[in-house]
Amino acid sequence: MRFTYAVPAGLLAASILFTGCASNNNDSNTSNNNSTNAANSTAATNTAAATTADFTSAVDQYRTYVIEQCDEFVKQTENFTNAVKEAKIEEAKALYAPARMYYERIEPIAEALGDLDPNIDARENDVEAAEWRGFHKLEKALWQDNTTKDMTEFADQLLKDAQLLRAKVEIVEIDANLLVTGAVELLNEVSSSKVTGEEERYSHTDLYDFVANVEGAQKIYELLKPELAKKDAELEKTIGERFAALQAELAPFKSGDGYVSYEELKEEDVRKLSQNLDALAEPLSNMGTILGV
């Protein structure tokens, strides 16, 4: 499910460079389904009311983490888009996947910010052809068409979107509920698009995204761990073990500073990764136990 956060318009207008793209005031573009579940859509507003423990520190630390990732994301995206604009194809290819990892680690936050996720991360067919922009548009040009022709505009736009994301995370509402659901959401991202090799269909760099999603979920788990250990030590231990098992399953596919092409994985490798992911996501989805009733 996706969260819709009402970010006060005044705040945004003050700090944001509009990119001139039509903003259609709803985020039905974020693919999947918009939750109509009342229990979830109130998550943004009533936080402390529904919880017994104090998550102030976890939330603050998470915001710090998100901002760190975002800062790095903007920097790396700039290097990448510069390479595209200078028609340095090989350099752009090398910068592409590592830059995306900073985004993938905090994906649920981006998804909570309206149109930003589709603008940055939509795959072909996720949106109307005329609206398609962002990383995957450039990915297709680089890997499939082997050119940067006509991509300057999209490169500029992508950098602006990355900067916009960075501006918005300052004021995005974060609460314990978002942390819990965000962690599961990150693993669901892996399950639904990375495992299948659909995310990086031209570059086959899916493992970078896979690992980053898992790292993002693990960060949240680490932040909630003390509270979880108090509430359900067994669950906390299980989640820790399952993270370790998944990391061990991913380890053989490391290559230098990065990861092997997804095409190198055998069917059986993919299935095992997917099964380990499901085995982790199941207990992780019970982290909500710390939210009290």
Partner 1 sequence: MKKQNRFTGLPANADSTPLNEDTKSNHILDKKLSRRDMLRLTGATSLGLLLGGGGVGGIMATRNTAAEPTIASDGDSIPFYGSHQAGILTPAQNFIYFAAFDLTTTKLADVKKLMQAWTTAAASLTTGSLIGDVNDNPNLPPSDTGEVDGLNPSRCTLTFGIGPSFFDNRFGLSSKRPTLLADLPAFTGDNLDPKWCGGDICVQACADDLQVAFHAIRNLARIARGTAVLRWTQEGFQRTGAADPKGATPRNLLGFKDGTGNPDTTNEAEMNNVVWNSSSDGPSWMSGGTYMAVRRVRFRIEVWDRSSLSDQEATFGRYRHNGAPIGAKDEFDDLNLKAADASGKPVIPPDSHSALAHGDGTVKMLRRSYSISSGLDIATGQLDAGLLFISFQRDLMKQFVAIQQRLSKSDRLNEYMTHTGSAVFACFPGIRKGGYIGEALLG
Name residues contacting partner 1, limited to 159-188 (CB under 8 A).
Answer: 177, 180
Contact yes or no for 250/211 (Cβ under 8 A): yes
Q: Which of 281, 18, 57, 283 is nearest to 161 (CA)?
A: 18
3-state class (DSSP) for residue 8: coil
3-state class (DSSP) for residue 254: strand
Amino acid at residue number 254: K
Number of Cα atoms under 13 Å in the Cβ half of residue 265: 26
Contact yes or no for 79/94 (Cβ under 8 A): no
Q: Which one among 9, 13, 39, 49 touches partner 1, defined by CB under 8 A?
A: 39
Our finding on whether 16 is near partner 1 (CB under 8 A) is: no
Please report how close the Cβ of residue 280 comes to partner 1 at its closest, in angstroms: 8
Binding residues for partner 1, how many (CB under 8 A)? 20
Q: Indicate the residue among 58 and 158 with the shorter CB distance to partner 1.
A: 58
Interface mask toward partner 1 for 100-139; x: CB under 8 A: ----------------------------------------
Please report how close the Cβ of residue 288 comes to partner 1 at its closest, in angstroms: 4
Our finding on whether 278 is near partner 1 (CB under 8 A) is: yes
Our finding on whether 291 is near partner 1 (CB under 8 A) is: yes
Contact yes or no for 253/273 (Cβ under 8 A): no
Our finding on whether 35 is near partner 1 (CB under 8 A) is: no
Our finding on whether 283 is near partner 1 (CB under 8 A) is: yes
Q: Indicate the residue among 140 and 272 with the shorter CB distance to partner 1.
A: 272
Question: Using CA atoms, how far apart are residues 155 and 116, in angstroms rounded to an integer?
Answer: 15
What are the respective helix, strand and coil percentages of the chain, to the nearest 5?
Answer: 65, 0, 30
Name residues contacting partner 1, limited to 232-251 (CB under 8 A).
Answer: 238, 242, 245
Please report how close the Cβ of residue 180 comes to partner 1 at its closest, in angstroms: 8
Our finding on whether 288 is near partner 1 (CB under 8 A) is: yes
DSSP state for residue 50 in the 8-state scheme: G
Neighbour-count burial of 260, counting CB atoms closer than 10 A to its CB (0-12 exposed, 13-18 middle, 19+ buried): middle
Binding site for partner 1 (CB under 8 A): 39, 50, 177, 180, 238, 242, 245, 275, 278-280, 282-283, 285-286, 288-289, 291-293
